[in-house]
Structure 1
Amino acid sequence: MRFNNLATRFKQRLTKNQDRRLLANIGWLTVGMMTNRVLRLLITIVVARTLSQADYGLIALIFTAHEMIGLFLQRCTSVKLIQAAENELPHLCEATSSLNWVLGASLFLIQCATGWLLSQAYQAPELFLPLCALGLTYLQLPTAMVQAALNFRAGKLRLMAKIDVGQTLVDTLGILALIVAGAGIWALVIPKIFTPLIWIIGNRRVCGWRPPAVWSFNGWRTIVSYSSSLLLIDAMQVLRQNADYLLIGYFLGVEALGLYFFAFNAGLGIATSFSTAISSALLPHLCESAEQQDILRARYRRGLKLTVILVGGLMLVQTSLAPFYVPVVFGQDWVERGSVELIVLLCLVALPKSLMDASSQYLRAEDRPDTDLQLQTVLTVLLLAGFGVAVTLGLKAVAVATVVCYYLFAAIVISRCLRLTRKATSVSGPHTKPETSLSSSNHTRPQLPAQANA
Structure 2
Amino acid sequence: MKPDRWPAFARGMLAYGSAEAVTRIVRLGSILIVARQISPELLGTAALALSLFELTRVLTNIGIGQRIITASESELEPICNRASQLFWFVCVGVTIAQLLVATSAWLLFKLTDVAAMLAVLSAVYLFMPAGLVQIFRAMRAQRMAATARVAATQNVADCILTVVLVVVWPSAWAIILPKLLTAPIWLVMARATHRWSPNGVAGLAPISDFATFGPAILGSELLTAARLHADKLLVGALLGTEALGLYYFAFNAGLGITQALVTACSLVLLPILAKADGERLEREFKHAFVMGLSVVVPLVGMQALLAPYYVPVIFGENWVPAVPHLALLACAAVPLFMAAVIGARYRAIGKPLSETLVMSCATIAALSGLVVGAQFNLEAACIGFGLGLSMILIPVAARQLFSSYRSTSVPLKGDL
1:75 is the counterpart of 2:62: yes
- 8 A Cα contact 1:77 1:224, kept in partner: no
1:359 to 326, 332, 342: 342
**Structure 1 residue 203, shift from structure 2 partner:** 2.9
1:370 to 344, 347, 353: 353
Gaps of 5+ in 1: 1-13, 438-454
Flag the 1:124–1:375 CA change in 2: closer, same or farther, 3 A: closer
- 8 A Cα contact 1:83 1:435, kept in partner: no
Local SS of the residue matching 2:405:
helix
- 8 A Cα contact 2:55 2:229, kept in partner: no
1:402 is the counterpart of 2:385: yes
**Structure 1 residue 123, shift from structure 2 partner:** 4.6
Q: Which has the larger radius of gyration?
A: 1
Matches within 5 A, 1:175-324: 175=162, 192-193=179-180, 195-212=182-199, 218-242=205-229, 244-289=231-276, 292-324=277-309
- 8 A Cα contact 2:58 2:225, kept in partner: no
The CA deviation string for residues 372-425 of structure 1, in whole angstroms up to 9 with x for no partner, is 01111121232244334433344444343334333332332224434775222x
Tell me which residue corresponds to 1:154: 141
Local SS of the residue matching 2:69:
coil
Shifted more, 363-372 versus 31-40: the winner is 31-40
Flag the 1:395–1:24 CA change in 2: closer, same or farther, 3 A: same
- 8 A Cα contact 1:367 1:435, kept in partner: no
| Distance across 1 between alignment mates of 2:45 and 2:275 | 44
- 8 A Cα contact 1:69 1:111, kept in partner: yes
Flag the 1:22–1:53 CA change in 2: closer, same or farther, 3 A: closer
- 8 A Cα contact 2:325 2:382, kept in partner: yes
The CA deviation string for residues 216-265 of structure 1, in whole angstroms up to 9 with x for no partner, is 65321231342321221222233333454455445555555544444443
The CA deviation string for residues 324-379 of structure 1, in whole angstroms up to 9 with x for no partner, is 334433445655x4x54444333322222212211111111111100001111121
1:417 is the counterpart of 2:400: yes
1:392 to 343, 350, 375: 375
Local SS of the residue matching 2:406:
helix
Q: TM-score, normalized by length of structure 2? A: 0.83
**Structure 1 residue 141, shift from structure 2 partner:** 2.0
| Distance across 2 between alignment mates of 1:140 and 1:230 | 23
| Distance across 1 between alignment mates of 2:43 and 2:275 | 44
1:350 to 333, 336, 350: 333
| Distance across 2 between alignment mates of 1:215 and 1:136 | 32
Flag the 1:271–1:249 CA change in 2: closer, same or farther, 3 A: same
Tell me which residue corresponds to 2:364: 381
| Distance across 2 between alignment mates of 1:384 and 1:192 | 27
Shifted more, 374-383 versus 58-67: the winner is 58-67
Tell me which residue corresponds to 1:100: 87
| Distance across 2 between alignment mates of 1:179 and 1:350 | 29
**Structure 1 residue 48, shift from structure 2 partner:** 6.5
Tell me which residue corresponds to 1:442: none
Tell me which residue corresponds to 1:7: none
Shifted more, 225-234 versus 364-373: the winner is 225-234
Shifted more, 172-181 versus 228-237: the winner is 172-181
- 8 A Cα contact 1:98 1:217, kept in partner: no
Local SS of the residue matching 1:75:
coil
| Distance across 2 between alignment mates of 1:215 and 1:116 | 42
| Distance across 2 between alignment mates of 1:396 and 1:55 | 21
- 8 A Cα contact 2:329 2:386, kept in partner: yes
- 8 A Cα contact 1:364 1:434, kept in partner: no
| Distance across 1 between alignment mates of 2:382 and 2:47 | 25
Shifted more, 203-212 versus 303-312: the winner is 203-212
The CA deviation string for residues 180-229 of structure 1, in whole angstroms up to 9 with x for no partner, is 77697776666544533333332333423311459965321231342321
| Distance across 2 between alignment mates of 1:31 and 1:368 | 32
- CA RMSD, Structure 1 to Structure 2 (Å): 3.7
Flag the 1:367–1:305 CA change in 2: closer, same or farther, 3 A: same
The CA deviation string for residues 122-157 of structure 1, in whole angstroms up to 9 with x for no partner, is 556676776555434333322221111100111111
| Distance across 2 between alignment mates of 1:61 and 1:252 | 13
- 8 A Cα contact 1:82 1:436, kept in partner: no
- 8 A Cα contact 2:60 2:90, kept in partner: yes
Q: TM-score, normalized by length of structure 1? A: 0.76
- 8 A Cα contact 2:45 2:241, kept in partner: no
Gaps of 5+ in 2: none
Aligned length: 416
Local SS of the residue matching 1:410:
helix
